[in-house]
Amino acid sequence: MLACLGVGFLAGGRRIEAMFPQDRTEGNRAVDGDDRERVVWADKLTVTVGKEKGDVVGQDDKAIQAAVDYVARLGGGTVKVGVGVFRLRNAIHLPSGIHLRGCGEETVLTKIPSQKVALAADSDWYDQEITLEDAADFRVGDGVTLVGSNPHHGGAQVIKRTLVARAGKRFKLNKGLRKNLWVSEKPTCASLFPLLTSENCSDVVIEDLCLDGNRANSANLNGNYGGNIFLQDCKRFQIRNVESRNYNGDGISFQICHDIHVEKCHVHGNQGNGLHPGSGSQRPIMRGNLLENNNIGLFWCWGVKHGLAEQNRMHGNRSQGMSIGHSDTDNLMRDNDIARSGKEGVLFRDDSRGQDFWANRNVLENNRIIDSGEEDGIAIDIRGNTKDTLLAGNTIRETRGSAKRRGIRIAAAVERLKLLDNAIEGFDVPIVDERNA
């Protein structure tokens, strides 16, 4: 049986649900190879990590990764990280079935300052090594990001690897490049990595941790490749009670990931987005989070569908409180507080490059959107050919004086927009409807 650990609503004829296997104590037995019917065991494997005492003693990524790998080898369980600051030289890679837990704000994971050097020799796509102009402080075991341009068409190339062996300025990588890095295109190697990451894994819990990205001493890593937490092609992750701050990039980003829950997290002070449900992600649930002082509080990327953003507070983000666009459909955004956004409170993006790339069949209801943008700010800006949108029961307020601010702007090509029982206060012109121009 499956239990629904979320709420559902009808949007575009479909129901949003986040499905997780149900844990039960009666009627089940542990059967080899069956991971659907689960038994709740009174005592499960737990390994502790501490700076001075624990099953594993250490203060960096190697200690935490050793505990994680040990628990994963035995089929899963909990890694409990103790009090203190753990300084990472590489990402902690989370395999399936892991519960990573700290001691709340007293467990801080941070990273070393980043350094960047140029490559000194060509590496072809089949190579598994690089040569640096200056070895600097790079060490075996370090996580690195290699950035260059494709020598054939000039497109950007970003490759994340680990240094696993060294001979002078030559470093072996944990796996092959699979892309050409030629000196003619000025490639670089930088000590940039997510703090926590996972790829092609499932059923992981991350909770009660403070993640500090050392933003002041780190170069930027785009949210499509990194963040304090970065997931790629994962399923059924629960991220709760996590503070994610000060990353020169995104706070929490997940790409092509399904049934991801982010709840009661404090995501703040990041250069990029606070929460970034990334391309193709299905059924994300983001509930009860505080997203403040990021670039965008909540950024719905491309093709995010059947998601729920509920009871979040998005305060003081430099661009939008929330941004939704390219093929993001059938999502519900309700009961959120969006205040003091640097630009729009909520932006429905325009994307005319495809036949129908707009954010269609979405619901924005019972939100409070306060004091958006500068003198020409807009609380809700619906652009492009966005279709079948419901705005219902929202409070849209301006307390600083009207100036040129507007409550809602509706682009000329918007279709089948329904406005129902919204309270728009403090604007000389509450709604600008360009369809009637």
pLDDT, tens digit, 9 for 90 and up, residues 264-281: 999 999 999 999 999 999
> Which residues fall within 8 angstroms of residue 352, CB to CB, at 6 or more apart?
384, 385
Instruction: Identify the domain boundary among 190, 217, 240.
Output: 190
Sign, CA dihedral 11-342-317-251, equals positive
Q: What is the mean pLDDT of residues 103-121?
A: 97
Q: Are residues 293 and 226 located together in one domain of the fold?
A: yes
Least confident of 12-21, 90-99, 289-298: 12-21
Asked, for residue 336, whether it belongs to a domain, the answer is: no
Structure tokens at 262: 């982010």
Asked if residue 143 and residue 186 are part of one domain, the reply reads yes
Taking 70 as the threshold, does the pLDDT of residue 239 lie above it? Answer: yes
Last residue of a domain, one of 165, 190, 215: 190
- Asked if residue 402 belongs to a domain, the reply is yes
153 pLDDT tier (thresholds 50, 70, 90): confident
Strands (E), 113-201: 116-118, 129-131, 143-149, 156-167, 170-173, 188-190, 196-199
Q: What is the pLDDT of residue 5?
A: 30
Quick one: which H or E segment has residue 73?
Answer: helix 61-73
Q: What is the pLDDT of residue 36?
A: 75
- The yes-or-no verdict on residue 420 having pLDDT over 70 is yes
Average pLDDT, the chain: 93
Separation between Cα atoms, residue 384 and residue 408, nearest integer Å: 14
Domain endpoint, select from 190, 214, 246: 190
Same domain, 173 and 51: no
**Within a domain: 328:** no
d(CA 275, CA 286): 9
- For the chain, the domain total comes to 4
Same domain, 74 and 219: yes
| Same structural domain, 414 and 299 | no
Q: Work out the average pLDDT over 176-203.
A: 96
- E runs forming strands in 168-289: 170-173, 188-190, 196-199, 202-212, 229-232, 235-245, 252-255, 261-263, 266-268, 275-277, 285-287
Same domain, 100 and 216: yes
Tell me the HSE value of 17 on the side-chain side, using a 13 A CA sphere: 8
Please report the pLDDT score of residue 27 as a whole number: 64
In tens, the pLDDT along 319-349 reads 999 999 999 999 999 999 999 999 999 999 9
State the residue range of the domain holding 211.
Answer: 46-111+193-318
pLDDT band at 16 (very low <50, low <70, confident <90, very high): very low
Count Cα neighbours of 3 within 13 Å in the Cβ-side half-sphere: 7
87 shares its domain with 198: yes
Any domain includes 330: no
Q: Tell me, yes or no, whether 332 lies in a domain.
A: no
For residue 14, what pLDDT is reported? 45
Helix (H, G, I), strand (E, B) or coil at 177: coil
Percentage of the chain lying above the pLDDT 90 cut: 86
Q: What pLDDT was estimated at residue 19?
A: 41
Instruction: Please report the beta strands in 213-251, taking only residues with DSSP state E, as ranges in sequence order.
Output: 229-232, 235-245
What would the pLDDT profile of 19-56 be if each residue is shown by its tens digit? 444 455 456 888 888 877 778 888 889 999 999 999 99
Instruction: Determine the straight-line distance between the first and last CA of the chain, rounded to whole angstroms.
Output: 55
Query: Is 138 among the domain residues?
Result: yes
**Which of the four pLDDT bands, split at 50, 70 and 90, describes residue 403?**
confident
**C-beta separation of 193 from 91 below 8 A:** yes
Percent of the chain with pLDDT over 70: 94
Q: What's the rounded Cα separation, in Å, for the pair 170 and 425? A: 63
Which CATH number fits the domain that encloses residue 61?
2.160.20.10
In a shared domain, residues 27 and 167: no
Residue type, 64: I
Task: Identify whether residues 239 and 307 lie together within a single domain.
Answer: yes
Task: Measure the CA–CA gap between 257 and 372, rounded to whole angstroms.
Answer: 31
Q: Are residue 201 and residue 305 in the same domain, yes or no?
A: yes
pLDDT beyond 90 at 297: yes
Does residue 247 have a pLDDT over 70?
Answer: yes
Whether residues 175 and 246 fall in one domain: no
The per-residue pLDDT for 230 is 98
Dump pLDDT digits (tens) for 78-103: 999 999 999 999 999 999 999 999 99
CATH of residue 142: 2.40.30
User: In whole angstroms, what is the distance from residue 335 CA to residue 246 CA?
Assistant: 27
Residue 334 lies in a domain: no
Same domain for 363 and 428? Answer: yes
Domain assignment of residue 56, yes or no: yes
Residues 6+ apart with CB under 8 A from 291: 251, 267, 268, 274, 275, 297, 298, 312, 313, 314, 315, 317, 321
